[in-house]
Amino acid sequence: METKREVPKSAQMIDTYFPTVDGVVRTVHNYAKWLNRASYSAVIAPAQKNQNDKDFSYRIFRIRSLPTPIAEYRLPLAYHAKSVIRELSKEGVKILHVHSPFLLGLMSIREAKRCGMKVITTFHSKYRDDAVTLTKSHLLANLLVRRIVRFYNACDAVWTCSNGTAATLRSYGFKGDVTVMDNGTDYVYPENASEIRKIGREKYNLTDGAPVILFVGHQIWQKNLKLILDTAKELEYRGFDFHLLIVGSGYAEKEIDAYARDLDFAPGRVQIFNRTFGKEELMEVELASDLFFFPSLYDNAPLVLREAAAMKLPALLLRGSNAAEPTVDGYNAFHCQNDKNETADKIMEIFANEERRLTVAEHAQKTLRRSWDTILPTVVDKYNEILKK
């Protein structure tokens, strides 16, 4: 990022952080890392088990917290959050960028404004869907959404990561201004990609030459993992030879494992890794794969799509989904309907034309991969614009 710009001191706030890993966590990490290179940026997050913050290039303020029924989320304590805000204000922090509208953000927004900070928030997720899944009640979900909208109304600026995400926020009842701010990736296609691909294929027993289909993401039903497994079973029923790799952890991983076992796949057909891969390991499995299957209607602007594109791994996405927004069917991705027979048809069609698949992969890398150092100057300009208001 250019250092000639005046980069205001900032802090990123999130309701869960490493060692939990998802797209929002990695977005916050990149904001803090890149902004801290040019000025000062920190992260405010609840304390978690097994946290190890010593290797980060920026400071992480851990808020004392209590456990909740959802293991990866903690209940932060209000008084400690307020004291951290006051400490950051003394350090000259002018921007508090909140990445989740729940308890930590709610507790901190008033204190931040008292300290003269501007509060920016990014809307990342379909919170109503999450609330329905957790509470099994549309009434409770709607009450939560109303509270969330009040939080966004109280912020100085509201950002989303795609136009589709902005439409989701407006469907919740938010009527204010929205700025679309893209996300990036620091993944770079390696010079020894073919060598890494060979290593990955041997590591995961993929040496028979069959196409490899990959999913990376939280193992939760909202990601449409049932469609992935049902499609895989349909392909197997048709006699199509392939491997399916599923990478990621999540609260539904045991249920997803059980569903896969019930489908009774041939040995070695489906491998499910109930853990989060590090960057190098993820690049390895992406290079070893031939198609990134991400049929999520839940995600808004998934980083995993851009990371796969950076590794020249073309994606199969659901037509009309927010994830598919920056893509064109047959040019830099493939689109399909939310139906196991149609997705199976599409996958067989993709692998029947290898030249086309490789061309789409090249276009994906050129059009979907954006580096963080090209995005952060726009972030800084917006920060300064908000401070001047």
Measured CA to CA in angstroms, residue 376 lies from 7, 31, 231, 292 at distances of: 10, 8, 39, 27
* Degrees to nearest 5, angle at CA 123 with 122 and 124: 105
Asked if 34 and 7 count as a contact pair (C-beta separation under 8 A), the reply is no
Q: Estimate the share of the chain in helix, then strand, then coil, as percent rounded to the nearest 5.
A: 45, 15, 40
CATH of 10-184+372-388, one of 3.40.50.11540, 3.40.50.2000, 3.30.70.890, 3.30.460.80: 3.40.50.2000
Classify the phi-psi angles of 50: left when phi > 0, otherwise alpha if psi is within -120 to 50, otherwise beta.
left
Distance CA 97, CA 352 (A): 47
CB atoms within 10 A of CB 251: 17
Tell me the sheet residues that pair with 310. Answer: none
Residue with tokens 């993944």: 187
Tell me the sheet residues that pair with 214. Answer: 245, 292
Distance CA 219, CA 224 (A): 9
10-184+372-388 shares its CATH topology with 193-368 = yes
Distance CA 4, CA 136 (A): 51
pTM for the predicted model, two decimal places = 0.93
* Degrees to nearest 5, angle at CA 124 with 122 and 129: 135
97 token code pair: 């960028």
What end-to-end distance do the CA atoms of the chain give, in Å? 24
Residue ranges of the chain whose pLDDT lies below 50: 2-3
Residue with tokens 């029924």: 69
What is the model's pLDDT at position 73? 72
232 token code pair: 């895989």
Question: DSSP H helical segments within 137-218, as ranges?
Answer: 138-154, 163-171, 193-203
46 token code pair: 């609840």
- Among residues 208, 214, 380, which one has the least CA distance to residue 290? 214
What is the model's pLDDT at position 389? 85
Residue ranges covered by each domain of the chain = 10-184+372-388, 193-368
171 token code pair: 């469907």
Interstrand relation of 74-76 and 65-67 (parallel, antiparallel or unpaired): antiparallel
31 token code pair: 């904001």
Asked if 333 and 316 count as a contact pair (C-beta separation under 8 A), the reply is yes
Any residues with CB less than 8 A from the CB of 217 and at least 6 apart, and which? 223, 247, 248, 294, 296, 299, 302, 304
CB atoms within 10 A of CB 378: 13
Distance CA 116, CA 9 (A): 13
Q: Mind listing the pLDDT tens digit for each residue in 219-276?
A: 999 999 999 999 999 999 999 999 999 999 988 999 999 999 999 999 999 999 999 9
If DSSP codes are grouped into helix, strand and coil, which group holds residue 212? strand
CATH entry 1.10.3720.10 includes domain 193-368: no
